[in-house]
Amino acid sequence: MRHKSIDLASEVKRAVLPDGLQGFLFPLYEAVSNSIHSLEERWGESVEEQGRIEIEFDSDASSVLIADNGVGFDEKNLGAFLTPLTGNKYERGGKGFGRFIAFKVFKEVLYSCRQISSDGVSSAGSYKYEPFADDDNLIEISSDEGVGAHRFDAGLTAVMREPHVEAKCLFDFGSEVYLEKDAREIISASLVDHFLVEFVQKKVPKNFFVIIQGMRINVHEYFFRSLFVAGSKTEFIEVGGICREFKFDYFQVGDLKMKKHRLYFYSNNRAASDLENISSGLNDKSFSKLRDDGMWRYFYLVAVSSEFFVASQSRDRIVNLHTKIEGDNKKKSIRDQLVGLAKGHILELESTYTLERKAKMTAEVEHLVAIDPLLRRGLGNKSAAEFVEGRSITETREQLAQDLFVERFRQKFDFTKISQNASVEQLVQIVKTQIPEDAKEALAVYVAYRNHVIRIFRELLNKNEDGLATEDKVHQLIYPRYKDSEEIDYSSHNLWLLDDDLAYAQYISSDRTLEGKRRGKGQFAHDILINNERELMIVEMKRPQKAGYSVADESSTDDPVGQLKSQISEIRRKGVIKTSGARDITIAPDTMVRGYVLADWNDSLQSYLELEDFIITNYGGRMAYRYYKTLNYMIEVIAFDRLIDRADNRNEAFVQILEGNSKFDLKPKSVFETPK
């Protein structure tokens, strides 16, 4: 028993809540979630009519009360309550651990309950919860000591009180935390946003109240006042030779209740996915329309259901959502196909917005090609309207200009097909025989752009005014931090600095965990990850001019080889990487993995690598490598000087060739000499 308590305490200590109001409300979300499950268990499909939830904030006592008329502490629920991580919660997609989070905000949690047994006998009790006690966690007390008798015929009352110092101010409902708005409405909006799926699926009772200082608001009415059913649509998709039916339901939700366009999948009338943000490529802002009460702004909520979906055992996700199918002349997951269809349907529903936006984009393209002949060639044989038709509805003027340039360049010559190790003679031959005269202008512009990036790269490697260069700026130049290739395209990064072939990799990720989330403080995450056909690459960057390398804890930034080994081993163990859009990328056991450490070369680094049994070479700039046979991965350590010299040499070769001079001597520009 003691061991379990220590584990629970450790878990609660490690838990990190959001800052501000959302962190304060997190224990409330957990309590309401438990109430909804309890109401479902008692009332079944009648929960919306028969259920009841009341939330009451007492600013004087600094306490929050949550009461429901669910099943209360019956024998099954009481046993599950006292034992975390039980199947009772797994059946509903939970883990039975949320109640401990209350102690991140409050010092004390009390319960009052009433339940009716199968033979009709009613019983009641009051309790104080001690989650880390060595013996009994739920201590029975008198109703006078606790929160009084439960207010309904059955169900549970939970009271959280004695907030920690940092949460105390949130009981001042006139403070700036509530932005001079009605605290009831702000808290109700937060509850609506958190339980959006449950509201739409009619699992929230009509009698759902938030009470502050004696004033109440009906959260159910609050939500449905700003919900409009926009329609439904059915699509048929062939999966594995079988035509499958998928139903899309569309809801318009007021912008006070929802802050982005979202989609969720559900199976067997139960949500089986998290809400996904689908604003990208659709509309980053809300739509609007004129109603009798004025201009109304709203976002779309899309629910997708199908008998094809198979939920996991815990019913919290759909296991076959990432099955690959043919679509748009290439293989894509069912999830991506359905999200794409949903966005297309919304643009059909918002036909006025779509026409206006397309017309604006067409005008932007016409203006761009009128003032820049190079961009005009990017249209090829298409009109401006035809060029816009195949592009994302949210592209900016700058993105359209980038796309025109890249389209122009790619139509004439694909620079990425040139081997990284092509000789000068091969480059000369390519320019003479494969690049048309009218394409050389585009190539010259592109090479000039790359020369500019290389110059910036060299400057970033120098000491700044504080005496130190920063890793962040180098990282940002090569690939934007906290992004992946589902969020940005090939024109938004400079991975060609590492290798020209990487520009069109199948998947690229920066500063993200294996679960597809942004790296948090102290979390494991790769600097850059690139997944290509049968090969995975992971890049670990060190701060320019960093000194002091040593074999230590593998999480230490002084031990980059240990960091990479740990990351690669974790990927091998999991066998899967999640993208920002929650898409699974499987890493087969026989996939070759390459790890790269980018750093300034110095004596400390060289000594460290020698101790790690690396082979060190100085041809064309300093680098070292070692192959790990058992796990089939290679780690290479490359000096920044070598990296930038190789990129500069290749670019300068093209400059000389384009100017008619094919005699270019490939010499390293770094301070190191090549071996004699």
Beta strand 633-639 pairing with 592-599: parallel
Q: pTM of the prediction?
A: 0.51
> What are the tokens at 74?
């019956």
483 and 563 housed in the same domain: yes
What is the torsional sign of CA 201, 205, 209, 210? negative
Over range 592-619, report the average pLDDT: 88
> According to the per-residue pLDDT averaged within each range, which of 142-146, 359-363, 377-381 is highest?
359-363
Q: Are 255 and 236 in contact (CB under 8 A)?
A: no
Q: Is the per-residue pLDDT at 183 higher than 90?
A: no
State the first-to-last Cα distance of the chain, in angstroms, to the nearest integer: 69
215 and 333 housed in the same domain: no
Q: Are 274 and 515 in contact (CB under 8 A)?
A: no
Residues pairing with 624 in the sheet: 616, 637
Q: What is the pLDDT of residue 39?
A: 94
Q: What is the pLDDT of residue 82?
A: 57
Q: What is the pLDDT of residue 443?
A: 62
Q: Is residue 376 part of a domain?
A: no
Q: Is the per-residue pLDDT at 571 higher than 60?
A: yes
Q: What is the pLDDT of residue 3?
A: 38
Q: What is the pLDDT of residue 575?
A: 86
Q: Is the per-residue pLDDT at 584 higher than 80?
A: yes
The domain boundary residue, chosen from 206, 223, 240:
223
163 and 248 housed in the same domain: no
Q: Is residue 668 part of a domain?
A: no
81 and 149 housed in the same domain: yes
Q: Is residue 415 part of a domain?
A: no
Q: Is residue 108 part of a domain?
A: yes
Over range 153-166, report the average pLDDT: 90
**441 contact partners, CB below 8 Å, separation of at least 6:** 374
Instruction: Identify the H or E element spanning 161.
Output: strand 155-163
206 and 235 housed in the same domain: no
Over range 207-221, report the average pLDDT: 93
Comparison of pLDDT for 650 and 588, the residue scoring more: 588
> What are the tokens at 359?
């017309």
Q: What is the pLDDT of residue 494?
A: 81
CATH of the domain at 16: 3.30.565.10
| Side-chain half-sphere exposure of 597, counting CA atoms within 13 A | 31
484 and 339 housed in the same domain: no
Q: What is the pLDDT of residue 6?
A: 41
Q: Is residue 74 part of a domain?
A: yes
The domain boundary residue, chosen from 202, 223, 244:
223
Q: How many CB atoms lie within 10 A of CB 286?
A: 19
- How far apart CA 659 and CA 124 sit, in angstroms, is 91
118 and 71 housed in the same domain: yes
Which amino acid does the sequence have at 321?
L
**Radius of gyration for the alpha carbons in the chain, expressed in angstroms and rounded:** 30
Of 484, 463, 470, 457, residue with least CA distance to 581: 484
592 and 492 housed in the same domain: yes
Q: What is the pLDDT of residue 674?
A: 40
> What are the tokens at 106?
């409050």
Each residue of 287-325: pLDDT tens digit? 999 888 889 999 999 999 899 998 776 566 788 888 888
63 and 183 housed in the same domain: yes
Comparison of pLDDT for 450 and 96, the residue scoring more: 450
> According to the per-residue pLDDT averaged within each range, which of 60-69, 81-90, 222-231 is highest?
60-69
Q: Is residue 455 part of a domain?
A: no
Q: Is residue 422 part of a domain?
A: no
Q: How many CB atoms lie within 10 A of CB 155?
A: 25
Domains in the chain, number: 3
- Per-residue confidence at 135, pLDDT binned at 50, 70, 90? low
- Per-residue confidence at 92, pLDDT binned at 50, 70, 90? very low
- Per-residue confidence at 410, pLDDT binned at 50, 70, 90? low
- How far apart CA 207 and CA 220 sit, in angstroms, is 7
CATH of the domain at 348: 3.30.230
Give me the DSSP letters along 76-111.
HHHHHHHSSS-HHHHTTT--S-GGGGGGGTEEEEEE
171 and 58 housed in the same domain: yes
- How far apart CA 163 and CA 169 sit, in angstroms, is 9
Q: What is the pLDDT of residue 418?
A: 58
The domain boundary residue, chosen from 327, 354, 381:
354
**577 contact partners, CB below 8 Å, separation of at least 6:** 507, 509, 514, 516, 529, 531, 571, 584, 585, 587
| Cα 85 to Cα 82, 90, 132, 558, 591, distances in angstroms | 10, 8, 15, 37, 35
Give me the DSSP letters along 490-528.
GGG--GGGT-GGGGG-SEEEEEE-TTSPBPPTT---EEE
Q: Flag the least confident range among 72-76, 294-298, 656-660.
A: 656-660
Mean pLDDT for the chain overall: 79
Q: What is the pLDDT of residue 180?
A: 63
Q: What is the pLDDT of residue 427?
A: 61
> According to the per-residue pLDDT averaged within each range, which of 6-15, 181-190, 654-663 is highest?
181-190
Structural domain boundaries enclosing 46? 8-223
Q: Are 609 and 601 in contact (CB under 8 A)?
A: no
> What are the tokens at 209?
């109240």
Comparison of pLDDT for 618 and 79, the residue scoring more: 618
Q: What is the pLDDT of residue 672?
A: 37
Q: Is the per-residue pLDDT at 113 higher than 80?
A: yes
> According to the per-residue pLDDT averaged within each range, which of 191-205, 375-389, 461-475, 495-509 is highest?
191-205
185 and 233 housed in the same domain: no
> What are the tokens at 589?
């056991």
Q: Is residue 671 part of a domain?
A: no
Comparison of pLDDT for 456 and 337, the residue scoring more: 337
- How far apart CA 419 and CA 291 sit, in angstroms, is 60
Cα of 631 vs its chain's centroid, Å: 28
Beta strand 535-541 pairing with 592-599: parallel
- Per-residue confidence at 102, pLDDT binned at 50, 70, 90? confident
41 and 190 housed in the same domain: yes
Exposure string over 42-70, b if 16+ CB within 10 A, otherwise e: bbeeebbeebbbbbbbeeeebbbbbbbbb
Beta strand 155-163 pairing with 106-116: antiparallel
